[in-house]
Amino acid sequence: MRFRTKITNTPVFVPLVQSLEKISKLWILRLTPRKIHTIIPKNSSSNSAENGHIQVWGEINVDSIFDEYTLTSNNNNEICLELNGENFARALKSSIPTGNLSSGQASWTSGVDMRLSTIDKQPVLIISLTGHSRAGGDVDLIQYVPVRVLSVSEQEELKEPLIADPQARKYHEYLLFFLKLSGKQERMKAMSGFLTVSANLNGQLVLKIKTDKVRVETTYIGLTNPEIAQTQVGDSQHANRNRDPLQFAEVRVDIKDFLRFVHSHQMNPVTVVCCILEGFGLAFYVFLGTDGEDTAGTLVYYIPQRKE
């Protein structure tokens, strides 16, 4: 097997990696000819607490992030790697310019080279940069991220949650700009371990906690309700046709899982859509890109319902 590429769009890719690192120590990088998939599955060894936890399934378009992309394998030219997100994020962080070279930081002259190799029988991702030091000399920075190559049978066990079953649940979508949510929800976490998210088709979204001693609500108004594609739901289940616009759908989730999702603001997404899956949980669709165009890729965060 062989994999090699140059990361040319670090402002999108590096924050993505840093965001995922805050959710799970171990996650999966699935390489395919046209897309790179980032996966934090339910059965991740660091994501297996009682009652389930947040899952993340993302796909990044190769052409929007990478250049000189080479990938070959005996498994339909696909490679699946398990890696330590903290190590991966630390290696990539060096490629982000700080705008201050007074500390001796190098000025990198090219994109980040990334390739799969083996050192002492251990598979590794080798991440290298070339540039100039403040003194004008050449600088080469090479970092190694150990990985584990998943077998074909292990890859087949990776199953993304199925949510587009209108007979099992109703769901409603909301455009949500959440860049200012983190501080408020951090304060809520000190009061309760659970958060109830509710919304209606009138553009209202409510985040609330309720305990024997305290009740706190944060309400957002004027949000956009995207249309649900007719191919996803039949006439009898189409939320925009059959639901009272003022009627709220709601779900209760672990507030820590919600805050892990909020860290995705580091990626500076173009658009975020929240789906409330009554009786099941939340699904957040985070669209990535540059210049206002969501062309780089999409991450889907699945947060399971937590019962009383």
Annotate 28-67 with DSSP letters as a single string: EEEE-SSEEEEEE-TT-TTS--TT---EEEEEEEHHHHEE
% of the chain beyond a pLDDT of 90: 36
User: For residue 34, is pLDDT > 50?
Assistant: yes
pTM of the model: 0.84
Label residues 102-136 b or e (16+ Cβ within 10 Å = b): eeebbebeebbbbebeeeeeebbbbbebbbeeeee
pLDDT of 233 reads 41
> Mean pLDDT lowest for which of 35-39, 181-185, 271-275, 294-298?
181-185
223, 302 in Cβ contact below 8 A? no
Please state, rounded to an integer, the average pLDDT across all residues of the chain.
80
pLDDT of 234 reads 44
60, 39 in Cβ contact below 8 A? no
Structure token pair of residue 187: 């304060």
Q: How far is CA 96 from CA 41, 108, 110, 112, 120, in A?
A: 28, 9, 12, 10, 30
User: For residue 230, is pLDDT > 50?
Assistant: no
User: How sure is the predictor about 232, in pLDDT bands with cuts at 50, 70 and 90?
Assistant: very low
Q: Quick one: average pLDDT of 198-227?
A: 84
116, 2 in Cβ contact below 8 A? yes
User: For residue 226, is pLDDT > 60?
Assistant: yes
pLDDT of 269 reads 82
Q: Quick one: average pLDDT of 221-243?
A: 58
Helix ranges (H only) for the chain are: 10-21, 62-65, 85-93, 152-156, 181-189, 239-242, 255-262
* Gap between the terminal Cα atoms of the chain: 49
Which residues are 276's β-sheet partners? 172, 282
User: How sure is the predictor about 51, in pLDDT bands with cuts at 50, 70 and 90?
Assistant: very low
